[in-house]
Every structure is written in C-alpha cells, then in structure tokens.
Structure 1
C-alpha cells in the first residue's frame, strides 16, 4: 500500500450508537479499505483514528471527505479526513 494512497480519518465527539458503523459504511460504499483502526471512549467522549487505503476508491477524495463530513453532522461528531502525507507533515515534531 503506497503512502500517497492512504488517508487519515479522525472522529471526535460525544459517544453514541452507530458511529463506527456509519463511518465504515461510508468508506465501504466508496470502496475504500480500512487498513488500521484505533478507537476509545474517554468518559462520554468517543475518539477514533483510522488509516484508510483509497487506491480502489470509486469516488474522488474531496467527495469522500464531504460524505464523511456530512455523516459527522448527522451523528453530531466531527469527522476529518486528510491525506496521510499532509497529516504527517502537520504533526511532525
């Protein structure tokens, strides 16, 4: 899996039923593959980070990003998607 074919998806908000399945469904509908996932609940707050392979994606990255954002609005959480290289650059020490 090439690094430029990967994105980082983050989710943050109040915990509720359906967050993981909602994000997974949006990604599956776009034919994007979840390569790695970590999630935790800290008191009432849900946090998740995913590495997603978009090499086989059937929509462009901006459309996928918009679909994830819209899902976040529906669920009351913040969902962001960034190219992994951009994420790495922004979070370097």
Structure 2
C-alpha cells in the first residue's frame, strides 16, 4: 500500500478549538500526524504538521475543501500540500 505525506499549515488569530477542529478532520480522513509544531506569538497562532495517509481511497481535493471550511469557521488560513510539492516549492 502506498503512503503519501502532506504538509498542513495553519495560521491566524488564536481562538479556542483550532487544533481540535483541524485534527478532527484529519482523523475523519484517516490522516495520521507524523510531526507537529505549534507556536503562539501573542495572539497569532501558527501550526505546522506532517500528516501521513495510507488509504488509497483518500481524495486530496475533498480533504482540502473540508480543511478550508474549518479554516473559514475559525478565521484562520489552512493549507494542505503534498510533501513533494511543498519541498519542490521551497527548495533553494
């Protein structure tokens, strides 16, 4: 079974429930958290995660759409990118 990894970034003004909302969607889609970093600078919330998917029925566009809806509900920006795309875009 193929394993895909995704970089998930969250940034915005801190509010109660952001982590719970994001991780619930991840659990619903079978995305396992491999690594997670979170920072709060005054009231600015940032979170960077690497999620891993071993489900061949996983549909990235559906996952991104639901993450965008969660982001809108918390007024934060959530981006989901395949790890290969993320690394390619950020290489020197």
Per the normalisation by structure 1, the TM-score is: 0.92
Q: After TM superposition, give the deviation of residue 58 of structure 1 in Å.
A: 4.8
Output the CA distance in 2 between the equivalents of 1:5 and 1:55. 7
Matches within 5 A, 1:1-93: 5-56=4-55, 58-93=57-92
User: Cα deviation per residue 1:28-70 (whole Å; 9 max; x = unaligned)?
Assistant: 0111111110001011100000000022275401100111011
Displaced runs of 4 or more, over 6 A: none
Listed as ranges, the gaps of 5+ residues in structure 1 are none
Output the CA distance in 2 between the equivalents of 1:69 and 1:59. 17
- Pairwise CA RMSD of aligned residues? 1.5
Output the CA distance in 2 between the equivalents of 1:57 and 1:17. 33
Please tell me whether the aligned partners of residues 31 and 57 of structure 1 are also in contact (alpha carbons under 8 angstroms).
no
